[in-house]
Each structure stands twice: as structure tokens, then as C-alpha cells.
Structure 1
Amino acid sequence: MLCESMQRIPGNFTFEHRYEFATTVRHYYGRTAYIIFQVFYNLSMQASNIAAMIISARVLDKFIGKIAGHSYALDYVHWGFVKSTDDADHPWCAGDLTSEGCEDLTFVISVGFLICMAICIPFGYLNLDENMWFQWVSLAGLLLFTCEFFVQFILKLDGEDKLCLDNVDYGNVTCNYHPSERHIGNFSHNGPHRTPIFQASAEGQANVVGMAIFAYSYVVTIPSWVNEKRHHVSVNKSVWVPASVGLVMKLLTGLLGGWAFALLLPDGSPRPHSDDILNIILHRDQPEVSQYSAYLWDITTLIPGIPVLAIMVRYNLLSGKVCNRFWSFVFGVVAPWVITAFCYETNVLQEFCNWVAIVVQGYINFVIPAMLYRSALYRYPDHNAEQFSGTMDYGSSEAFRFPPDQKAVNYGSVQTPVEYRVMSADPEGEETALLGKTIVDESGPDTPGSFVELDEAPVEAVPRFLTFCGKVFKINRIYVANFMIIFFSLLSTASIVINIFDIFQPNS
């Protein structure tokens, strides 16, 4: 829906005008809505990125500790170097660890954090297309290590899993997940009986609804990808195929993981740390190959995603002319790392980021695109016909305007005039290298009447017609857009309400 609303903007059928998410909002709803959206959009993106930075740094420190025995960090409170502890909740404790926690919790900048920052900031300076090889590495890691998890889940289906319960007396022994004490604990058989249709737990439902929204919160990244993709790449296939494959992988991970491990306590509430299956896999009673796969899965999927979100922020600040190229890089890429460096070992920053994501992400990723789509249908109902007939007013675009440079573009067998070749964020072309998209006519760019091949297919978020049992039904796309707006507004609001309700639960 977001892509079609971008394509319906006059003169932007082949996405030459470089509309980002925020500038698309400005086109349809004006400057006031644009300013409000920019604030919440950047707040949401930075909150998501900071949360990913925190998790990535902690995972990398644990991975270093797994290999070397300890990770190290600079303690900038006591000015010295410290080693990590074995306590998962207090890895950087300057004092003694007691049953109540750490006696002297300190603030550090760890080796894992510095490595993540050293990787992500340079990639954040590049464009999306220059990050592609990094994303291919991420895809390879995702597929490889996820398949390893599936194998381990299937192997465990015929066995048992144990829980260490706080209200159970195990005698003179301590229940933990060390390999030497695998026989101590409460055991239950693995299998499909572990995944009931519904579980009346506010904490569990908050995790499920929140994760469902978070899992598809990549919608905000699509406009920037559309602006840099090759013209022959189908938007419909590129969006729906990965989304469908991802849905299957999520279902398999959830079902097989839920069948292979005891993720619920006897009262139906979630097992501690069970909101992330990787936390369970990283227990020391799991196979070494699975533990290493869990670490590498986190590293290869989370770290490559950090510069992508940073680039989104940088693009939107630059295309909206909020700031120039240098300051968009500082605010979008560098500033989050500086903020995170001084408080990422406290839970306050992560809790704040989580709540920002809960409150904002659902509306930005699902409600606003549906609203833009609805507005586009009303304002430009016949964008395909106008494009092919060559009657569209290209000079009315708000994004970037340039002196006419008459060219003809060949959309398959149809030609239509285009009034530009190179798009730039300002008249002097300062950001051309960053945001420009040059249309090259190999037969001679200065030859009048030459043609440029731009095989851009129309984006159809919702098909006009549906064939079923030999009958053709016309789909009212306005009704579909209205339904999406209402449904995702209710879902996003429900996520907020459930999470607030969970806070006030007695056992939360």
C-alpha cells in the first residue's frame, strides 16, 4: 500500500522523484502532518535501532566470553578495565554478587559494544545499494542457523524438557541448567500439547501481540529500498515473497520451539526469558552447536540491520531537507551510538526503547500506510491510465523540480514524456551522489526522441478484480483500506493496553 501510494504521486510512476516515507506523508497530508510524522518516525526508528545496539553488544560480549572465558570493558566510573562475570543479569558488577543482585553496579563501554559500533558506523555512511553484500551475509546466516534450530527442535520432540521452579524444594541440591545437573528439575514430555490455542496470561499475550507487530515492522524501510531498486525488479514480488517465506519460518520456529521446550510455568505464565527462544537455546544443557548457532544468529541478523535503519533515518532527514548530508549522518548514524554508549548497561534505556516501539511502531508501520493508500485512491484513481496516455502533470510534483529535459520513456510498448533525467536533493546537486537516480540512454542521452527502457510495472497492493469459481468479483479497494486502518488501529491500541495491564499485574 505504501509503495502504490508513492507510485500514484504525479510524475513518480517509476519512483524517480525519490519520495521517502516522510515526504510521501507531506505530499498527501501537508506540512503539519509531515512535521508530526517526522518526530514520531525518527523516534521510533532510533528506539528500534538503540534496542538492537544494546542486544547486539550484549550478545557479542557473551560470545566473546563463551570463546575466551571473559569479555572486557572500560569502567568509566572507577576508571579501569573490568572482566565480565558469569551472572547473566549483572555481567559488569564491580562489587560482590548477592542473592539480591550486584552490590556495586558500574557503567562500562564493553569490547562487544566497540566492535558493533566499529562495524555499523561505516556501513551507515554508505547507501543501501552499497550495503547489499552485508545483507547477503545476513541472509546466509539467517537461513543457515535457523535450519540448525529446526533440526535441534525436531530431534527434541521425542524427549523431555525440564524447568527449575522457585516454589519447589529440591532438597540439598540446586536446580540449574548446567550439564552436570540435568537430572534435577521438573520434567515434562515434549510435543504439540505444549501449544494450546489460547492462554489466559496478560504477560504472555503482551509478548505475542508485541512480537507480531515487531516482526513486520520493516514497512518503514520499503520506500528507501524502492527508490534504489532496479527498474525491472517487481515491487509486488519483492514484498510478498519474502513476507510469505518469513511467515512460514516464523510459524515453524514458534511451533517447533514451543513443542521442543517447556516455555510455560505450571500456572500458565511464561517461563523466565522465554520471550526469546534463543535465551533457552543458550542454556548450558543444550548442544554446543546450538549455542554457537544462537550466538551467530544474533550477530549475523541483528548487526547488519542496524546500519539499514540508520540509513532510513538519514535518507528521511535529507530528502525532507531537515538538515544537510553531514548532520543527517550525525543524527541518524553517530548520535544513537553515543547515547547508547553511556547507558546501554542499564535497563532504563532499553525499557524506554521498548515502550516507544510498543506505542508508535504499530501505527507507523501499518495504520499510516493504509491511510496513505486510501488518500492515493481518492486523489489519483486512474494513475495507470494517465501514465500510459502521457497526460499526467509531471511538473506538479512536490519532491524535487528541475528544468525540463524532454525524454521519452518506453513502458513496454507504451511511451510517455518525462521531464527529468537526474534527481537531486537540491538545485546545486550537493546530494546527487547520495540521493540521485540517473537515467542513462545508451543510444545517446542528448539525441532528441531517443528512448530509455524503464520496465516499471504498476504496483497493485489490492487487485481490482478477484476470480473465484469462474466468476469475476470487483474489489472495492477503499473498503479494504478502511478495514486495514480500523483493524491495525485496534491491534496497535490493544498491544498498548495489554502491556499497560501487564505492568499492574501482581506477579508481573
Structure 2
Amino acid sequence: MSDLNTNENVELISFPNPTKTSGGTTIISTNDTANTSSSSISSTEEILENFPNPQKDEDFKKKFGLKSIGTIGGICLLIGNCTGPGMVNISYQFQQGGWFLSLLGYILMLGLSGISALFIIESMSMIPGNNKFALRIEFTMICRFYFGKSMYLVSQLFINISLIITNIASIIICSQVFDSLMVFIFKKTCGISFSNGWICVIENSGDGGSPFQDDYMFITIGYLAILVLVVPLAFFNLNDNIIIQIACVIIMLVIVISWVVIFILIGLSTDNLPTIGNHMSGISQIIGNCMFNYAFITTIPSWVNESKPNVNLKRSVWISTSFSTVLFIIVGVFGALTFSSMSPNSTILSLINLSKKANIFSKLSVYLFPFIVLASTIPVFSIIVRYNLTQNKFFPTWIANLISIVLPWLIVIPFQTGDWLNIISNYSSLFFGSIANFIIPFILYIKSLNFKNKLNNYNKQQKFENKINNKQKQGKEGLESNQIELNNIEEGFTNGENYESFFTPEQEKILKELSLETRDTEENTNITTNHFKSLSLIPRRYSKIIAQICLITLSILIVLVIFSNFYFGN
């Protein structure tokens, strides 16, 4: 008896492929039998029978973007999603935790985040009918397919809160820097305080935080300016923002290079950067902050859904994560070497701005950075939250817009000043970001492999049943041996499970709903002939072991970091 579970050549049931129509949309065809047996097609006809027709293009484009993101655009999008608000606190992390542990943390998270991203893509591809990524499947819908409805609701909570909290941190930084810009240009900035009403300040904070320091603000000029500039972009789709992402990554690279020059001009001192940090609170925050900087996995499904079919997904993931890691290390090491005794509520932006060597160019780079790197990602994360909430009609579009776009701006109001940025970036990454970006993807991958093995056994069963039926038509010769082989499959690999209705009612419902969002795709040899595979040279049975090891490792790390943050955090 052969080991059917390790057969890498067994295809999934090729759920009927999209077929182009004259209107440019696609329909589900039951005539595609390229990779399926006749009985497999027969078993899915009942599911497909009542499939509604796909939405028209114009209706679809109001809710989701088209498959138009190329390789460069995708890489820049992922880099932008990585280099978020946590980037401005990297130097403080390196100084408090030490260069060795910080460097180790970023290398570890580079590998874990890359694998996590690829595993979530492979989980997408193993949903029937999506081996070519033709279906529109957002992150929460993947959870619903493999976890069921109850865990789908939990995943909605963790995934969307993770994205919203990242936006909150970005809004805080952008608002503070814009207020500092107002002081630099007009010699003052104003706002409405909860305790003192309308107030104005005429100088920036000495520790590099908000010009209003610890005064709780209701509204500031910086907050209003960022709101007006950023919010309109969140009403577009993801693919509409790609040109902005490409431009922002190019400008960001120029800014980082200029910072290195500024750091060298100010002066570097190895005394400012210990090998191992002297403060347990700084050491305890390393993994938490590293996780926050790599919290981009929740954006991967939306990027895949709108990527052109000829995009090499694996290469794009590794290029973007590696490029981001190099930027993190450069900013962290050079910034820590330059500035001594950083305070918890200071950022690299404010430290450059307040340095004695600061000039017009350095101040311009400081004020430009939030709009290039941070403000450009706020609408992206809002769009992805909206995608997750509107797919499967979880919420109507107007409620999804309120949650994804309006809610973060309301929540941020009490947290515009003080040390809230470090608190948000550290603790939120532990409770929500780490689970949404690392724990859930690995669990999904393990579940998808189990689903694939069961589906392969189902195909094997169908194949032998067809063979037996053919023998019955031709005569009884060989019938008994084939029946024995079929029984071995059922007893040895299916544990007596009944495959007469393979898909659960919930999965059937999901596949019907996904047909509404199926898009036509360009033909691509690699995509049409192979399923996506995260680790090409490793059999999937070993990939599953790797996923389990990563899941256990991350779970232990998260527990340890949560404990150390609460114990040493103060």
C-alpha cells in the first residue's frame, strides 16, 4: 500500500476554472475537465448549479481593485507596508536593547515574516478554483474557509484591529511632525486642549515628542492637516495607490541616505551603542518592536488578489522583506551611534531636527519622511480593512468605511501627545499584530495542508470507483482486486470518513460567494501548470513540520515577551 499523503504530484480537485465572457468578466464553467476526473466534476456540479452570475465590471470596481499591480509596484507596496511607524523608534530600540540582540531579532523576524507571507499565499492557492489566484479571497475569507464561521469572526477582530492600530501609530507620528513643521515655519502651532481650551506653542518639545508635550489635545493643526491630505485616498482601491507607493519608496531611499550623511556629520560614538543593552525594559521590547515592523502579512492576500498573473510572488516577498531589513538596520545602528541617552518618547525624526548640525535640508527630510513613508500607508491599511469587512457582505460598504477610515482618527484623539507611540507599537504588536501576522498564517497553512491531503484521498477514491465502474461494464475480471485497493484507501487514509459530500455547507457557501468576485486573468505558463508552493525544494510534509516549528517558536516568544514587558516594562 503506497503512501498517498506524500505524493507531491497529486493535484487538487481543479474547481471549475473561470471562462472569459464578452463583457470582460468571468463565469464558472463546469466543462473544464483538464485536471479532474469525470466523477470529481460530477461531485461539484451540485455546488455550482446555483452559482450566481459574476458582478459587472463597474459594480466590482466600486468595491475591489483590478489585477493590475506589477512586480515593481508590488515590491514597493510591501516595502511601504513594512517600513511603517515602528521605523522611527528603531534607534532607541538598538540603544536600549544593544546591537547584538536587536540585529538577531531583525534577522529572525525577516525569516519568519517571509515564510509566514508565503504560507498564507499557498493557503490561498489550495482553496478549490484558486490555484491560478483567479478568485477574490481576502485574509478573513481564508480564515472562514479553513476555520469555519466562529473563528472567522475572531479573525476579523484580530486582523482588522492589527491594521487599525498600525494606522493609529502612523497618525500620531504624522500629526506630531506636522505640528513641529508649523513651529519651524510659522513659529507656532495651535490646537484645542481638553483642559485649557485653545492653546498655542512657540517652540518644539525638547525631548523630541509633540510640541504640546504631555498636554492632552483634542484637535491640533497637524492632526487636521494630515486628515485632509490622507483620508480621501482611503476611498480608492489598492491598485489605485500603487503609483504613490512607488514614488514614496524612491523618495524614502533618498531620505535614508541623507540621514546616514547627517549622522556622520553629527558624529558617531560606539559608547552610545552597547553590544547588550543595560536596561531590561529595552531588551524586553526587542521582539515586540521587531514584530511591529514586520506586521505586513495581513496585507498579503489583498496584494495577491490585485497582482498581475506574471508577478513572481516569492521573489517579490523576499526582495521587499530583505530591503526593509537593511533599511531597519542602517537607521537603527547609525541613529543609535549618533544620539546618546534617547528618551522613550523621542523619535529619530525629532532628534535629527533638534540636533546642532540640523540645517534646512535635514529639517526638510524630517518633515517629509512621515508623509512619504507613514501617511502613504494609512490609506492602504484602511483599504485592506474595508476589503475584509465588505467581502462576504460582513458589513455594508458605508459601515466598513466608518470602521476602516473614520474610527482610527477618532481613537487617536486622546493619544496625540506623550509616550503613547511606544506603548501602542509595543503592546499592540504583542496582543494583535503578532497573532494576526504570524500565529494565524501558520495555523491556516497547517489546516490547508490537511485539507489538501483529504482532497487528494477523495480524488484517489473517485479514481478507483471509476475504474471499478468501468470494469463492471467490461466484465468482472479484476473487479475484486480494485475493490480491495479502494477499501485500503478508505481504511488506511480516510479513517472511514464519508466523502460523498466533501465540502461542508459553509465551504460550499463560500465558494458560491467567491464566484461573484472572480476576475479574468492573463494566461501565464507557470501559474496555469503549477500550484503555488512556498518552499519549492522541500516536500510539503516537511513544510508542515517547518510551519509547526515556527508556530511553536513564535508562541513561546510571544509569551516570554508579554511577561518580560509587564515585568520589566516599568
TM-score by length of 2: 0.64
Cα distance in 2 between the residues matched to 1:196 and 1:118: 42
CA gap of 1:255–1:344, structure 2 versus 1, over 3 A, is: closer
Quote the offset at 1:492 in angstroms: 1.9
Give the SS at the match of 1:476.
helix
2:335 to 257, 273, 286: 257
Identity, % of aligned pairs? 25
1:188-227 mapped onto 2 (5 Å cutoff): 190-191=269-270, 194-227=272-305
Once the two structures are TM-superposed, the CA of residue 440 in structure 1 deviates from its matched residue by 6.5
Aligned with 1:108: secondary structure? strand
Give the aligned partner of residue 483 of structure 2: none
> How far apart, in 1, do the equivalents of 2:124 and 2:376 lie?
27
Residue number in structure 2 paired with 1:399: 510
2:122 is the alignment partner of 1:25: no
CA distance in 1, matches of 2:421, 2:257: 33
Contact 1:370–1:481, Cα closer than 8 Å, also in 2: yes
Q: Indicate the SS of the match to 2:393.
A: coil
The one-letter code matched in structure 2 to 1:500 is F
Alpha-carbon shift at residue 140 of structure 1 (Å): 2.0
Is residue 296 of structure 1 aligned with residue 365 of structure 2?
no
Name the structure where helix makes up a greater proportion of residues: 2
- How far residue 39 of structure 1 moved from its aligned partner, in angstroms, is 1.6
Mapped pair 1:499 → 2:565: yes
Q: Distance in 2 between matches of 1:155 and 1:83?
A: 30
Q: Is 2:190–2:201's contact at 8 Å kept on the other side of the alignment? A: yes
Give the structure with the larger strand fraction. Answer: 1
Matched, 1:438 2:519: yes
Could you tell me which residue of structure 1 aligns to residue 486 of structure 2? none
Note closer, same or farther for the CA distance 1:143–1:379 as it changes in structure 2 (3 Å cut). same
Match of residue 49, structure 1, among 147, 156, 167: 167
The equivalent of 1:187 in structure 2 is none
Q: CA deviation at 1:454?
A: 7.4
CA contact (8 A) 2:138 2:301 kept: yes
Once the two structures are TM-superposed, the CA of residue 79 in structure 1 deviates from its matched residue by 5.7
Deviations 1:16-38 (A, max 9, x none): 22111111111111111111121
**Gap change, CA 1:62 and 1:464, over 3 Å in 2:** same
Return closer, same or farther for 1:384/1:126 CA change in 2, 3 Å cut-off. Answer: farther
Residue 109 (structure 1) aligns with: 219
Write the deviation string for residues 164-213 of structure 1: whole angstroms up to 9, x where unpaired: xxxxxxxxxxxxxxxxxxxxxxxxxx24x654432242121133222211
Q: Is the 1:17–1:399 contact (alpha carbons within 8 Å) kept by the matching residues of 2?
A: no
Q: Following TM superposition, by how much is the alpha carbon of 1:222 offset from its aligned partner in structure 2, in angstroms?
A: 0.7
Closer, same or farther in 2 for the Cα pair 1:385/1:145, shift >3 Å?
Answer: farther
Provide, for residues 241-264 of structure 1, a one-character-per-residue CA deviation record: whole Å limited to 9, x for no partner: 11111112222222233333335x
Separation in 1, partners of 2:134, 2:555: 32
Report the CA distance shift for 1:295/1:478 in structure 2 as closer, same or farther (over 3 A). Answer: same
DSSP-derived class of the 2:510 partner: coil
Alignment counterpart, residue 385 of structure 2, candidates 306, 313, 320: 313
CA distance in 1, matches of 2:413, 2:345: 27
Aligned to 2:317: 239
State the AA in 2 paired with 1:32: S
- Local SS of the residue matching 1:399: helix
The structural deviation recorded for 1:383 is 9.0
Q: Report the secondary structure of 2:177's partner residue.
A: helix
* Contact kept in structure 2, 1:75 and 1:109, CA below 8 Å: yes
- Contact 1:464–1:476 at 8 Å: present in 2 too? no
Q: Secondary structure of the residue that 2:181 maps to in structure 1?
A: helix
Amino acid at match of 2:357: Q
Contact 1:59–1:299 under 8 Å retained in 2: no
* Matched-pair contact (CA < 8 Å) for 1:273–1:280: no
Residue 349 of structure 2 aligns with an amino acid whose one-letter code is L
Answer yes or no: is the 8 Å Cα contact 1:17–1:400 preserved in 2.
Answer: no
Inter-CA distance 373–203: structure 2 relative to 1 (3 Å threshold): same
Report the counterpart of residue 113 of structure 2 in structure 1: none
Whether the aligned pair in 1 keeps the contact of 2:179 and 2:210 (CA below 8 Å) is no
Contact 1:141/1:296 (CA < 8 Å) preserved in 2?
no
TM-score (norm 1): 0.71
Could you list the per-position Cα deviations for residues 75-127 of structure 1 after superposition, in whole angstroms to 9, with x for gaps in the alignment? 5766646445543578676xxxxxxx87xx46331121112111222111111
Equivalent position SS for 1:282: helix
Query: 1:412-469, CA deviations, whole angstroms, 9 ceiling, x for partnerless residues?
Result: xxxxxxxxxx953xxxxxxxxxxx453178xxxxxxxxxx55753643322334xxxx
One of 435, 438, 443 as aligned partner of 1:371: 443
- Asked if the contact 2:289–2:426 (Cα under 8 Å) also holds between the matched residues in 1, the reply is no
Judged with a 3 Å threshold, the aligned counterparts in structure 2 of structure 1 residues 23 and 62 are, in CA distance, closer, same or farther, namely: same
Q: How many residues align?
A: 405
Q: Find the aligned partners of 1:114 and 1:92 in 2 and give their Cα distance.
A: 15
The residue that corresponds to 2:532 in the other structure is 459
> Where does structure 2 lack aligned partners over 5 or more consecutive residues?
1-118, 464-501
Shift of 1:352: 5.7
Q: CA deviation at 1:307?
A: 0.8
Contact 1:135 1:304 in 2 (8 A): yes
Select the residue among 159, 178, 190 that pairs with 1:72. 190
Q: Aligned residue for 2:427?
A: 355
Match in the other structure for 1:178: none
Alignment RMSD, CA only?
A: 3.4
**1:309-348 to 2 correspondences below 5 Å:** 309-341=381-413, 344-345=416-417
Question: Structure 1 unaligned runs (5+)?
Answer: 94-100, 161-189, 264-270, 403-421, 425-435, 442-451, 466-472
1:259-313 C-alpha deviation (Å, 9 max, x unpaired): 33335xxxxxxx3148743343222313223333122122211101111111111
Residues 1:144 and 2:254 aligned together:
yes
The 1:354/1:47 distance shift into structure 2, 3 A limit, reads farther
Partner SS state of residue 285, structure 2: helix
| CA shift for structure 1 position 217 | 0.5
In 1: Cα distance, 2:540 partner to 2:444 partner = 22
**CA, structure 1 residues 318+257, in 2 after alignment: closer, same or farther (shift >3 Å)?**
same
Change (3 A) 1:290 1:46: same
**Alignment CA distance shift 1:353-1:246 (3 Å):** closer
Deviation at 1:366, TM superposition (A): 1.2
Pair 1:63-2:181 in alignment = yes
CA deviation profile, 1:345-367 (whole Å, cap 9, x unmatched): 47679846753333221122112
SS in 2 for 1:253: helix
SS at match of 2:191: strand
- Per the TM alignment, residue 15 of structure 1 is displaced from its structure 2 partner at its CA by 2.0
User: Which amino acid in the other structure matches residue 224 of structure 1?
Assistant: S
CA contact (8 A) 1:60 1:299 kept: no
TM-superposed deviation, 1:220: 0.7
Deviation (angstroms), 1:494: 2.3
Contact 2:385 / 2:404 at 8 angstroms: preserved in 1?
Answer: yes
Q: Does 1:483 align with 2:549?
A: yes
Q: Which amino acid aligns with 1:439?
A: D
Q: Is the 8 A contact 2:183 2:203 kept in 1?
A: no
Residues 1:283 and 1:487: Cα distance change in structure 2 (over 3 Å):
same
Give the letter aligned to residue 280 of structure 1. L
Q: Please give the alpha-carbon distance, in whole angstroms, between the structure 2 residues aligned to 1:286 and 1:383.
A: 65
CA distance in 2, matches of 1:251, 1:423: 44
What is the distance in 1 between the residues matched to 2:217 and 2:346?
26
Change (3 A) 1:398 1:10: farther
